[in-house]
Structure 1
Amino acid sequence: MNKVCYQINLQQGFGGGEIYTRFFSHALQQLGWQVTLFVHRNAGFWRKLDMPGVSLVPVGSYEEIHGHLPTERSLFITHSPTIGRLARTLASKHVLAGFAHMPLYNRNPEPFRPYHLIFAVSGHVIDSLRAAGIDSYYAEPLYGVADLTRPAMEQATAIRAASVYEWDTRKVRDRLLSHLYPAWFALKPAEYFKKRKGLTLGIVSRLTPIKQFPLMFDILAPVIRQFPDVKLEIFGSGGYASVRDLRNGLKPIANQVRWWGHQNNMNAIYPQLDFLLTGLPEKEALGLNVIEAQACGTPVLAVNAPPFTETVVEGETGYFFTDPRQDDGRDLARLLGKLRSADEIFPDPRRATSHLERFSLAQFSQRVERAMNAASRLLEVTPCS
């Protein structure tokens, strides 16, 4: 059997799914697979990534992929289940596999129905597939790795404030602001990060609805306000509404918060934080930022629930706190009081070597090899219709 794999990722924004696609492609190549990746022609970041040997095919829509399909029966792996009529074509003539990068709770499971095999990035996602009545999932979670590289730009050690907005040019408001805001931002004096006194918590993430940051801080901002020496640094960008809602949630502690926008130099950011702070759990699939932070020696504060219970070890790589929707943030207040003690020694995740090894490229490659063996067996036995 020829080891040829076609991947599809037409996302136009660069986020965790695109980082995952990159190191998944790298693992495939290490295992001897020839990789072709269909990307959106407007997603220029793919050409800036270090992906030697991956054949990029830019298209404008899923429909355009029909004109590029191979005549021989092949393996296709998607990074979003919603691929329209292409799903029926691929499922009838090829083997259609795909990644579930999001849990299915409160999501429509129907796009996954045509798939022969579904790879999930965590046990939390597998549980959501099972709860939705999807039984074509691969039973082993394909946990990601701490890939701290970003599009090929200068990896400066200095952290300079950048725009916090990602513009959706399909909207008239965003099209207008995408011209006005950068011009205004360019006139501002450059601002560079310097760690402040006190306990530094950091958000390192795209500011997307799945993180539920506005809801979380509606509850937690009044709690954090009790501790003026607790600082919050936000590294990431998001849509206009996401940023607006988060700003509103953070109003009680606005003087304790700084915004740094989208950043590429992850290796410079994580060591400057005392703790990475996660969002709320149930819509989160895995949390690559949690894995990245621990690899850099930065412990994590996370809600005591999946998927964070799969990626954080209490007392060794971070601490859990009760979901603030259950206790109005009292457990986090207790934890912050403890962490502000001069005698408190923070955990160093790098000492949890066996835990971190689970998220190494070597173990990821082993998981990918087992998963691809399962996909190959389907390629051999699944009849064409």
Structure 2
Amino acid sequence: MFYDRAKIYVKGGDGGNGCVAFRREKYVPEGGPWGGDGGRGGNVIFRGDEGLRTLVDFRYQRHYKADRGQHGQSKGMHGRGAEDLVIRVPLGTVIREENSNQLLGDITANGQEVVVARGGRGGRGNTRFASSQNKAPTLAEKGEPGEERHLILELKLLADVGLLGYPNAGKSTLISRISAARPKIANYPFTTLTPNLGVVSLGEGESFVVADIPGLIEGAHTGAGLGHYFLRHVERTKLLVHMLDGAGTEGRDPLDDFHIINRELALYNEALAGRPQVIAVNKMDLPGSGENLVRIKETLAGEYEIFPISAVTGAGVPELIRRVNVLLKELPVPELPGEQTTETVFRAEPRFSIHREDDELVVTGREIEKHVAMTDLDNEAAVDRLQRIMQVMGLEKALRDYGAKNGDLVRIKDMTFEFVE
């Protein structure tokens, strides 16, 4: 089964907790703190695999979570970092964050990796908090939570040639003749509901990949028919073979079909309108095809190469394939989104923000939420440190300015406390 879109949840591994321990050995009085740091959590990484052709695996497993780091131990021993969780995806996979629609990666090469959820750092052991004022600290940090995201995966096929045309123009028949692909073929529109890939071999070292794109119709750029669902697969091809029903078996004019499909390509993506095309006038074995071929040549021969073929009998197909192979060698490799360099702009986000929900004041923000998550709320010394951090960040003053009064409930992530002047 071909799947080219998936929605999944990923989470980096949490960092291991720091350890509170003290050196207690014979002949070592007042040995001091001896707790080690926690290990880093594993990252979630997508890796391109040229052996995959579909996102079907993500239909059966939608949640991916990396392992957490090992906790710190006594005797100053640090916890072991967790291994990364590597997930294989087919080439051409575009990764976006669901909520913001932010592009996280575009995998176009075998072995290319994209980190989609970073693991949290390990918490510091009490050894890290020793100072001249506090020689025996009794606090340690908890591990930092790993990043978590809901992702949308979208597959855009990587093929050299894309077969275009109205439903029932003969694309599936052609790809079954020139390659080992065996798509469903029947005499009704939209027989092909999923793209098919076929490898065309012309001898040792001579081959190219063809994508049979399901039939497009007028209005495809707005999603009509199977428009939005499959137009994206045309974006990655170097050359388009536009197949026309030369016999007009569906009662349509092949010239009108040609102009309609090209207009849909331009409306969907202007760059596709300039993609090199050759025209394959199919069904030349049927009555009426000769007259239509003359009209097509009179109108389009000055701008496009035209090949009369019969996908059923094979007539004219070798000439078409040989010419396509020559053109592929001459055409430059199109730039793929994954190969474009874009300038990364870092914008400083506020350390926290405050809003009211019912009877609570809710404080949100990545930095303040991280401090709360890494604080052991059952440890008095750790809570005191968190209060000092909040004061340095200006949270207390901000709450007063927002209108907080004695006894008001304040919530930060999973922690709720009363505001006290």
TM-score above 0.5? no
Larger RCO (CA within 8 A; separation ≥ 6): 1
Greater radius of gyration (CA): 2
Q: Give the structure with the larger strand fraction.
A: 2
Q: TM-score, normalised by structure 2?
A: 0.23
